[in-house]
Structure 1
Amino acid sequence: MVRAPGPSVRLRLTLSYAGFLMLAGALLLAAVWLFLLRYVPERALIVPSGTPVRYDVFPVRSNLLRVFAPRAAGVLAFLLVFGLVGGWFLAGRMLAPLSRVTEATRKAADGSLSHRIRLPGRRDEFRELADAFDTMLARLDAHVAGQRRFAANASHELRTPLAISKALLDVARTDPERDTAELLDRLHAVNARAIDLTEALLLVSRAEQGSFEREDVDLSLLAEEATETLLPLAEKHGITIENSGGIAPTAGSAALLLQLTMNLVHNAIVHNVPGRGRVWVRTAVRPDAVTLTVENTGEHLSPELAATLTEPFRRGTERVHTDHMGAGLGLAIVKTIAHAHDGTLTLTPRPSGGLRITVELPVSGTG
């Protein structure tokens, strides 16, 4: 049901200002009547001759009202006109910041998220509204840009295995004598990579939407499970894993938090010094949070590079082994899962080489 447009806020404020002035004027006239005119006699006073008087004329209430009433009506009319004109001007001045917010809202609705209000002046309710709106636009702009970049990167990553599969099939078609077993092995590897990438994308989407039930989870148990599961991979690369820490109770999805832990440990194993690397997995609990820290040895990293490793499809290629490039979503998934659980992710290069990654999550109230 479409409702007819009502009077504007400016008109309503104008009428309110004018009405207030009229009411104030009426109250003033009533006060004049109550405290002054009612003491004026209704009839002329008769003064005996020879009585000294201070005034030559004694007002009569009826005559005074006859003179006073038109002037009072004129004053009320002036107040009405003054209230309407002045109220219209004041309402326009007061609502000018709101007009800028409305214009910015229309531009945002049309898809322009780069526009900012930047309302000048003192900090008042309108300034706070404009600043909050600018902050929202900045976050939306960054989110949309990230989504577009993610979609473009995902399309590129998914296109790569499909293009490789097509090339392998084209070669097999033109070369019937090619080794079929080798072709199948390569197709299987390419298909497995595409499946892994698709599952990673679905996991990121699921974590971003927050479509999971929260339950009590002990991060220390998840760290032990991830360490035991990835121990064969660590032994293959010659990596030593140390797991320590006590109970770390939090609330969230056990499956997603296990994936978070698996990604951290897997990342620490793969991006390490082959044959002599080390990985440390620790859990701890504080009064307001629980922490999961994964450290590894490796090459020296700059803080600038470490800050970009959580972006989707960003790989620290200078420290990635050629036998495992990955999908470039490991730490991006960790960051997404941590944020979905109201947590934080911190990446710090180690002075001796390698990386220290710390996940902070809210401590469980039942822990």
Structure 2
Amino acid sequence: MSSRPPGLSVRFKLTLSYAGFLIIAGTLLLAVVWVFLLRYVPNRPIMALGGHVPNQGDLLRAFAPAAAWVMVFLVVFGLVGGWMLAGRMLAPLARITQATRKAASGSLSHRIWMPGPKDEFRELADAFDTMLARLEAQVSEQQRFAANASHELRTPLAITQALLDVARNDPKRETDELIERLHIVNTRAIDLVEALLVLSRADQRRFAKDSVDLSLVVEEAAETLLPLAEKQGVAIETSGEVTRAVGSHVLLLQMATNLVHNAIVHNLPEGGTVWVDTAVGPGSVVLSVSNTGAVLAPQLVSTLTEPFQRGTKRIRNDHAGVGLGLAIVKSIVHAHEGTLSVVARAAGGLTITVRLPVAPPHLPTIPNR
């Protein structure tokens, strides 16, 4: 909470400003009238045939009370009218303040929906509504992510506990089998934690930006995953041209590795294919990864970039991953100010297209590592 002492309200300040401006304008107008009348009124008394001709003294005695009443009227009218006008002008601001307080209390579903023509207050209210909508979506996504992450982290711990309980209750059990299963479970837990750290790093956008050749990054990822592809009976076909994107080599390599890994694992049982292509478009570079596989419904495809979503079923084998592959890809793409599209192929499988900003010529190029 702020320790600043309370000050004058904006409405009161505006009222004083309106009244002060009106008084100054009235004073200037009366001064102009006074100067104008003085030009046609003599300074000394003049006797004429018809009687006494008014002079400046007579004019002052007649003008001063009228001017005083006019100033009193302007003060009262300025204060009352200014108070009402300021209240009317600040009414939209009161609605925005009320919505801000509701948002601060945790109610992100409230919207201002400011009526009327598009003015400064309407633009502010619309911008605030847009911000609330984005915050609500992000908070909902983070809540789902936290729930899913807690569940995924709890699973290996529960399996470890169960294995240890079995070993404790059965002292004659072979320890080699127990150690091997514990090693697998522990490896999966470590992979999950590392994936969460990569996801957090991408979301925070804390990385240096260099010129990275996506074609070399793709070759490095494909070469690393070639033994897995051979084991799964999947062929990898790469093609394309030099595509220099702006970003982090480490994160872009992680992105390409995740895409190719997912394309290999979520494929046909045997005889599958993965196609990886890089190209240069107008103002952007394009990375496309397609694979064969099962036919997927559009409703399912739209959820694949959410954390802990896995195709048609939750695959549990040595290469299934932790369900964060495409979620990490999505975060890396957004951190690089790019776009990601996931489309189901009619023959089965997916086509995932990544568009990233092209690197400017002056940016240094990071060599392939």
The TM-score with structure 2 as length reference comes to 0.94
Aligned counterpart in structure 1 of residue 296 of structure 2, from 294, 298, 301: 301
- How far apart in 1 are the matches of 2:346 and 2:312? 20
Do structure 1's residue 316 and structure 2's residue 311 form an aligned pair? yes
Q: 1:90 to 1:81 in 2, by over 3 A?
A: same
- How far apart in 2 are the matches of 1:318 and 1:171? 29
SS in structure 2 at match of 1:273: coil
Task: Between 111-120 and 198-207, report the one with greater CA deviation.
Answer: 111-120
- How far apart in 2 are the matches of 1:141 and 1:3? 31
- How far apart in 1 are the matches of 2:236 and 2:250? 22
Do structure 1's residue 223 and structure 2's residue 218 form an aligned pair? yes
Do structure 1's residue 346 and structure 2's residue 347 form an aligned pair? no
Aligned counterpart in structure 1 of residue 115 of structure 2, from 114, 120, 130: 120
Task: Between 72-81 and 175-184, report the one with greater CA deviation.
Answer: 175-184
Give, in angstroms, the shift of residue 45 of structure 1. 3.2
Equivalence map 1:104-183=2 (5 Å):
104-183=99-178
- How far apart in 2 are the matches of 1:233 and 1:56? 122
Task: Read off the aligned partner of 1:89 and give its amino acid letter.
Answer: M
Specify the alignment match of 2:359 in structure 1: 364
Task: Read off the aligned partner of 2:164 and give its amino acid letter.
Answer: L
Do structure 1's residue 209 and structure 2's residue 187 form an aligned pair? no
SS in structure 2 at match of 1:217: strand
- How far apart in 2 are the matches of 1:247 and 1:58? 100
Specify the alignment match of 2:242 in structure 1: 247
Which deviations, in whole Å up to 9, do the C-alpha atoms of 1:27-49 show, x marking residues without a partner? 111111122233211234344x6
Which deviations, in whole Å up to 9, do the C-alpha atoms of 1:125-151 show, x marking residues without a partner? 001101101111111111111111111
Name the Cα RMSD after superposition: 1.7
- How far apart in 1 are the matches of 2:348 and 2:56? 101
Give, in angstroms, the shift of residue 322 of structure 1. 5.4
Aligned counterpart in structure 1 of residue 62 of structure 2, from 56, 60, 67: 67
- How far apart in 2 are the matches of 1:322 and 1:258? 24
Q: 1:240 to 1:218 in 2, by over 3 A?
A: same
Which deviations, in whole Å up to 9, do the C-alpha atoms of 1:325-362 show, x marking residues without a partner? 32110000000011111111110111221110011111
Gaps of 5+ in 1: 50-54
Specify the alignment match of 2:40 in structure 1: 39
- How far apart in 2 are the matches of 1:259 and 1:43? 99
- Determine if contact 2:45/2:52 at 8 Å carries over to the other structure: no
Aligned counterpart in structure 2 of residue 272 of structure 1, from 236, 261, 267: 267
Gaps of 5+ in 2: 364-369
Which deviations, in whole Å up to 9, do the C-alpha atoms of 1:77-127 show, x marking residues without a partner? 100000000000000010011111111112222222121111111111001
Equivalence map 1:76-115=2 (5 Å):
76-115=71-110
The TM-score with structure 1 as length reference comes to 0.94
SS in structure 2 at match of 1:39: coil
